[in-house]
Amino acid sequence: MKTPLKLAAALLAVMFTASASAQLKVAALHPLLGDLARQVGGDKVEVVDLLKPGGDAHHFEPTTKDFAAMKGVKIIFASGKKLEAYLPKIADTFAGSAEVVEVGRTIPSIKIEAGSEVFMCCPAHTAGGIDPHWWHSADNMRRAARVMADSMSKADPANAATYKANAEAVDQKLAALKSWAQEQISAIPRSDRKLVTSHASFSYFCKEYGFKTIPLLGISREDEASLKYVADTIKLIKEHHIRAVFADDQMNPKVLTEIVRETGVKVGKPLVADGTSTAAHTFETMLKHNVTAIVEALKP
């Protein structure tokens, strides 16, 4: 039979073990961020995913059930760049109990402008807007891993070394993925690196791999392409002998019908544009799918 002193010691040991093994609870507002948080946090972090694979990144709204699942979170990772219209509501709800980290805040934004470094032309009503899909770049995701490691270390200093080491491992993995993508894309002559997509979501990808993009719609898939803009796109496809156009995985390809009819250009495999595909909702699976589809359609 244990003495009161031994019982107290045993109780303290149990309490210490539970405290030492407690995980930092964080929430992710996008599947790509959730996957990255798991890689950086490892077994020290519990990740709550709000936007699930198959969801719509542009129109998602958190439910009462989502808010309940977020109880106890210390960090909320958001894409930022105005992708999450509901972010102010999240910030107000968890003010004082959780830090909202817009992971894309420190990543340089790409403005949608015709004749820019990456845009050949773009819908007039979208010109001047910011492309929020920054996670199509391996270098941006490497930066995001460091942002997450810093935030986790601030919230959980005892495991800072683990978060830093994990972020460094992620950095190396992403660098290797970028090298793989560059090698695959080298099969496409630079003069043929023209990417006609359903909506303006690939500018960061295009900048990283030397493409020019022509988005048929604006930032949202619900935007309308004017007859003049469709005609301008058809003209560019003919002038530059563009081999293929691409719909995205969550969009009806009928928007491309007139362009295909007028140019005879082929339609490539649908690209994962918003990073929420049920089949590709990690950066690695998304990048490999997109690069493979683009190379297959555009190489000579």
**CA–CA gap between residue 68 and residue 156 (Å, rounded):** 23
Residue 206 and residue 113 in contact, taking contact as beta carbons nearer than 8 Å: no
Beta carbons within 10 angstroms of residue 2's beta carbon: 9
Would you state the torsion angle of the CA atoms of residues 33, 42, 144, 207, taken in this order, to the nearest 10 degrees?
Answer: -80
Of all residues in the chain, the percent with pLDDT exceeding 90 is 68
Residue 81 and residue 104 in contact, taking contact as beta carbons nearer than 8 Å: yes
For the stretch 91-100, pLDDT in tens is 999 999 999 9
Which residues in the chain show pLDDT less than 70?
1-21, 123-127, 218-225, 251-255
Phi (first) and psi of residue 254, to 5 degrees: -60, -20
Residue 81 is predicted with a pLDDT of 95
CA atoms within 13 A on the CB side of 68: 3
Query: Is the C-alpha dihedral spanning 82, 87, 89, 94 positive or negative?
Result: negative
Note the Cα 185 to chain centre separation in Å. 20
**CA–CA gap between residue 30 and residue 272 (Å, rounded):** 14
What predicted TM-score, i.e. pTM, was given to this entire model? 0.88
Residue 229 is predicted with a pLDDT of 80
DSSP secondary structure of 94-161: TTTT-EEEETTTTSPPEE--TTSSSBS---GGGTT-EE--GGG-HHHHHHHHHHHHHHHHHH-GGGHH
Q: Could you give the 3-state DSSP secondary structure of residue 75?
A: strand
Residue 65 is predicted with a pLDDT of 94
**CA–CA gap between residue 201 and residue 133 (Å, rounded):** 6
Residue 51 and residue 29 in contact, taking contact as beta carbons nearer than 8 Å: yes
Per the prediction, the chain carries an average pLDDT of 88
